[in-house]
Amino acid sequence: MSKAIIKKGIDVTVIAGDDKGKTGKVLQVIPESGRVLVEGVNFVKKHMQKSEDNPQGGIVEREAPVAISNLKVSV
């Protein structure tokens, strides 16, 4: 059995969870927590306070990290 290494920039498929079956490109790997940020997968709503960077404020959708065990490398 070979162990697939998940690195930034490769395409992966989600094999478990709410986003099962979705594919995307790895944006960031967080080895300390065993999680990976994948493009277009695991969207969460974040409430943003008004600031200089975000003058409008409001609710923003962004990707959240997914457990590395729920991913496999796409062929």
Residue 1 has pLDDT above 70, yes or no: no
pTM above 0.75, yes or no: yes
Tens of pLDDT, residue by residue over 34-75, are 999 999 999 999 999 999 988 999 999 999 999 999 999 998
Report the alpha-carbon distance of residue 57 to residue 51 in Å, rounded: 7
- The full set of domains in the chain, from first to last, is 11-73 (2.30.30.30)
Q: Could you tell me where the DSSP H helices lie in the chain?
A: none
Closest CA to 73 of 27, 40, 18, 24: 24
Residue 2 has pLDDT above 70, yes or no: no
